[in-house]
Chain A
Amino acid sequence: MKAEIRVALVGNPNTGKSTLFNALTGLNQKIGNFPGVTVDKKTGFCPLPDGRRAEIIDLPGTYSLYPKSKDESIVFSVLAEKGSDLSPDLVVVILDATNLKRNLLLYTQVADLKIPIIIALNMMDMATKAGIDIDVNLLAKRLGVPVVPISARKEQGIDDLKKLIAYANQVPLQTDSIYVNALAPALIDDITEEIGASSPYFALQLAHQHEHLKFLTPEQSDRIEELEKKHSFHSQKAQAAETIARYNYINDVLYDTVQTPQTAHEESLSNRIDHILTHKIFGFIIFMMVLLFMFQSIFAWSAYPMSLIENSFVWAEGALRDILPPGPLADLLIDGVVAGLSGVLVFIPQIAILFAFISILEDTGYMSRVTFMMDKIMRKVGLNGKSVVPLIGGFACAVPSIMSTRTIENWKDRMITIMVTPLVACSARLPVYTLLIALVVPNKNIWWIFNLQGLALTGMYVLSLVSAVLVAFVMKFVLKARERGYFIMELPVYRMPRWRNVGLSMFERSKTFVLQAGKVIIAVSVILWVLSSYGPGKRFEQIEKRYSQPQFTQSMTPDSLKRVISTEKLENSYAGVLGHVIEPVIKPLGFDWKIGIALITSFAAREVFVGTMATIYSVEGDADRIDSVQDKMRKARNPNTGQPAFTLAVAFSLMMFYAFAMQCASTVAVVYRETKNWRWPAAQFAYMTVLAYTMAFLAYHLLK
């Protein structure tokens, strides 16, 4: 659907920009990526009172057109690139009425680009409450642009804004703010003449930012560099002079349009909340409780919907099996595609719950306080205060946690967080750990209270967190920073969360995951299905033939016959063959080829290990009953040595392998989506495999 007018939303962070975006577009929105960066590109459609439709683009929140990070640089490039499919016809600058001075800096910069502009003056209700008196008409007259007071949370003034968008001027009418040419007269003239610029400020911005503007040709960029040298242009000095000039202009504008009462800010409610939430002792206790609650909820609340999703897929598989004529096509559809789909959708509850929490933490302003409190510790190991949430979320599932790293603005901090989050012991490792621990660790207490099995499990969890921190520490030195790390960060006033934003965030994140990571997961699931249900040559036919002979059909029940056949088929499938192939490699870890099969089939998801063990050891009855799997595994003998296959050393070696190896196709897919470069998931896969092999090797040889 083509829109008749394209509108870009620009504003500082924490001004209610996303709330306004949601109020304008509702569910008519989609999240994508801006080219080259990992900020969400949110676009949506909004019906206008004159019957047309406006396409709304939500640009990342920024305090200035001069970017602090690569992600912020997208704001200027979208506004500047003429004729692209993003370039706006109109800009709506959203300003926080309670803090007009700082908000107007960005406005004056955007206004000087000479794009038609409208001001949405948000949080007017809060400004009035705080005793701030704004003469809206005079302000509009001074700036020469329409100003509409709104309250995005209460959805007040939205219709007025839509009217203004519909009947907006197509030519820029804003008054000039500062005399831009004075900042670099000769350079601005030369760039305007040689490269072309729609306004003097546009030319000046080209001088500042040409290095990372994709719409400039390399020749143009080089030419700008030459011109800068010729006129001895110093970017930072010019920026400093510009900012001072702009604030002088803003002070002039605000002098008789805004009256602010001189109240002591200590009395504000927000400040009193901060006293408790960032308190030396209570601050940490409360934060730990919030994390614990979040972690528990992801586990507990997602359990029911997850089993509901899984059960309905089991039902659907059964139903399809009845309808479809049996054959390879039905198998592919049911065991490959439908099973893969189930593996994708089963993540939705965890993603939705984690993002509900993150949305609430961000909306209320608490997330900034978390960063404020944790910055010192986390910085030491190369992480960011905001890394705490993904790391703790990793205990439930790495997939939503990695998606949540977008809240970390600093590129290096975000990459390190993404790289180490999969090390944290996620819930899919739990069935593997419980199976193996119950197998080799005696169920008895030491020192009266500590259960040995419980201690072993706790040990695995602690190990995961310690290894994540250690790897982050190493990566701090390996990874080169792309931008200087600033911490200068606003601590926004505490606000109630907006439930509509929370709901939309849950919905949009789940949708994005299914549509984007889902493809890879289904593909991997189909490949693994092929590997484990087909074998080279005529092996499968021979198995079928052999077991159809009377000596088997008469002496065994149909059920146990079926089980023996599937065990033998798995052993002779491509996965089984691969198990034999990798045996020499995994032998130093104490694994035989049967464990090799499990390593291969659980490549896409760790929890498959238990099911594969059940098939390999032909578990009777309900394969989901963990004690019957255990019993078989306990009796299993290593075909090469004749010793029990699962000794203490082998079990711990396996646990180390599962703790460190990247055996999760969903995580690989989501890391690719979040980094937009295959090198990151590849590097992650490589380092985790090396780590897994080393740790398993050590565990096996130390315990043997």
Chain B
Amino acid sequence: MTLEQLEVGETGIVKEFTDLEMSVKLMEMGCLPGEAIKVSRVAPLGDPIAIHVSGYQLSLRRFEASTIVLQ
């Protein structure tokens, strides 16, 4: 299951990434394997989404969220 499939309010733990280039950027922003991610809201038009990770709020597009595999 990927981050993209989570509903608002749900939490998941990062397991791995499907896109190496994207993973480098995501990890720099604190989305590391083992880290808990909670979906805090979805943009009014359904994309992008906002997540709560390592103490702050981050927004990313659905496509980007789909590269994050959850445990």
Enumerate chain A interface residues (CB-CB to B < 8 A).
63-64, 66, 68, 98-99, 101-102, 105, 236-237, 239-240, 243-244, 247, 260, 265, 270-271, 274-275, 278-281, 283-284, 368, 372-373, 375-377, 484, 486-493
Which residues of the partner chain B approach A488 to less than 8 Å between Cβ atoms? 25-26, 29, 58-60, 64
**Are the CB atoms of B20 and A240 closer together than 8 Å?**
yes
**Are the CB atoms of B43 and A278 closer together than 8 Å?**
yes
The 5 closest A-B pairs by CB, nearest first: A491-B57, A376-B45, A64-B28, A243-B27, A280-B44
Which residues of the partner chain B approach A373 to less than 8 Å between Cβ atoms? 43-45
- Which residues of chain B from 11 to 55 have a CB within 8 Å of any chain A CB? 20-30, 32-33, 40-41, 43-48, 50, 52, 54-55
**Are the CB atoms of B43 and A372 closer together than 8 Å?**
yes
Give Cα A102 to B59, complex, Å. Answer: 15
Offer 14 A-B interface pairs, CB within 8 angstroms, sorted by A: A63-B28, A63-B29, A99-B54, A240-B24, A243-B27, A278-B41, A283-B44, A284-B44, A376-B48, A486-B22, A486-B64, A487-B59, A492-B57, A493-B56
**Are the CB atoms of B59 and A243 closer together than 8 Å?**
no
Which residues of the partner chain B approach A274 to less than 8 Å between Cβ atoms? 40-41, 50
Give Cα A372 to B46, complex, Å. Answer: 10
- Cβ 8 A contact of A376, one of B46, B55, B58: B46
Given contacts A99-B54, A376-B48, 8 further A-B contacts (CB under 8 A): A99-B55, A239-B24, A270-B57, A375-B61, A486-B22, A490-B56, A491-B56, A491-B58
Which residues of the partner chain B approach A66 to less than 8 Å between Cβ atoms? 24, 28
Tell me how many residue pairs across A and B have CB atoms closer than 8 Å: 107
**Are the CB atoms of B61 and A487 closer together than 8 Å?**
yes
CB distance from A205 to the nearest CB of B (A): 14
Give Cα A99 to B58, complex, Å. Answer: 13
Residue of B nearest to A375 (CB): B48
**Are the CB atoms of A102 and B56 closer together than 8 Å?**
yes
Which residues of the partner chain A approach B45 to less than 8 Å between Cβ atoms? 373, 376-377
**Are the CB atoms of A487 and B41 closer together than 8 Å?**
no
Residue of B nearest to A63 (CB): B28
**Are the CB atoms of A247 and B55 closer together than 8 Å?**
no
Which residues of the partner chain A approach B23 to less than 8 Å between Cβ atoms? 240
Give Cα A278 to B61, complex, Å. Answer: 16
CB distance from B69 to the nearest CB of A (A): 15
CB distance from A178 to the nearest CB of B (A): 14
**Are the CB atoms of A486 and B59 closer together than 8 Å?**
no
Give Cα A240 to B20, complex, Å. Answer: 8
Which residues of the partner chain A approach B48 to less than 8 Å between Cβ atoms? 372, 375-376, 487
Give Cα A579 to B63, complex, Å. Answer: 55
**Are the CB atoms of B30 and A101 closer together than 8 Å?**
yes
CB distance from B31 to the nearest CB of A (A): 9
Which residues of the partner chain B approach A279 to less than 8 Å between Cβ atoms? 44
- Cβ 8 A contact of B59, one of A275, A284, A368: A368
Which residues of the partner chain A approach B43 to less than 8 Å between Cβ atoms? 278, 372-373, 375-376
**Are the CB atoms of B64 and A487 closer together than 8 Å?**
yes
Residue of B nearest to A248 (CB): B32
Which residues of the partner chain A approach B55 to less than 8 Å between Cβ atoms? 98-99, 101-102, 260
**Which of B32, B50, B56 has the most C-beta atoms of chain A within 10 angstroms of its own C-beta?**
B56
Give Cα A275 to B40, complex, Å. Answer: 10
Which residues of the partner chain B approach A278 to less than 8 Å between Cβ atoms? 41, 43-44, 50
**Which of B25, B50, B57 has the most C-beta atoms of chain A within 10 angstroms of its own C-beta?**
B57
Give Cα A271 to B24, complex, Å. Answer: 28
**Are the CB atoms of A484 and B59 closer together than 8 Å?**
no
CB distance from B9 to the nearest CB of A (A): 9
**Are the CB atoms of A243 and B64 closer together than 8 Å?**
no
CB distance from A388 to the nearest CB of B (A): 13
Which residues of the partner chain A approach B52 to less than 8 Å between Cβ atoms? 265
CB distance from B5 to the nearest CB of A (A): 18
Which residues of the partner chain A approach B25 to less than 8 Å between Cβ atoms? 68, 486, 488
- Known interface pairs A240-B27, A375-B47, A376-B45. Does A271 touch B40 (Cβ–Cβ under 8 Å)? yes
Residue of A nearest to B44 (CB): A280
